[in-house]
Amino acid sequence: MGIGFMDRWRARHGHRPDGTPPQPDEATMADLLAECGLLRELAGESGVQLDDGVSSLTDLDQLLPRWRDDPEVSEWLGNDAGLYLGTVLHRTVPGTAWRLDEHDRPLVVLPGGRELDVTAIGHGWAVEGSPQLAAAYLAATDG
């Protein structure tokens, strides 16, 4: 998927004896996935404080989508937006966990076992403005 920080983490930790790449423990993965550097920078420049809370998703939804003029920025921002949505879910919904699928795509696993491809949701938000991040959160939590 091209999540560079995961590749760098793996490079520092080597391969397992059977030759497979290592998987970070869930807490380490949650910290890595919460970085969302480009999104946090863009939000900060726009006066939006990302505190990993639900209300910050609504604040992101209200940003003017100036990044849509640059497909490369939209691609990275889509990843970050999805990872941020996952971070908010992970930090606010007890029992939520991260896992990597067979293609190293990060998924959020909700307490009932439902899995969300948050980066796909983030890409939709970055490119089309839909679904809105706050609405995706509410749908995930049946709120």
Residue 16 lies in a domain: no
Domain contains 12: no
Which strands, in side-by-side order, build the sheet including 115-116?
Answer: 97-100, 106-109, 115-116
Q: Domain for residue 18, yes or no?
A: no
For 30-88, the pLDDT digits (tens) are: 898 999 999 999 999 999 999 999 999 999 999 988 888 888 888 889 999 999 999 99
| 13 within some domain | no
57 vs 29: CA distance, rounded Å: 21
Angle at 74 between CA 73 and CA 75, to 5 degrees: 90
Domain coverage including residue 31: 23-141
**CATH classification of the domain holding 44:** 1.20.120.1090
SS3 115: strand
- β-pairing verdict for 97-100 and 115-116: unpaired
Question: How far is the C-alpha of 4 from the C-alpha of 31, rounded, in Å?
Answer: 14
Residue 55 lies inside a defined structural domain of this protein: yes
Tell me the pLDDT tens digit for each residue of 8-35: 554 554 555 666 656 668 888 889 899 9
Tell me if 5 is assigned to some domain: no
Domain count, the chain: 1
The pTM (predicted TM-score) of the whole model is: 0.83
The whole-number pLDDT of residue 69 equals 85
Residue 17 covered by a domain: no
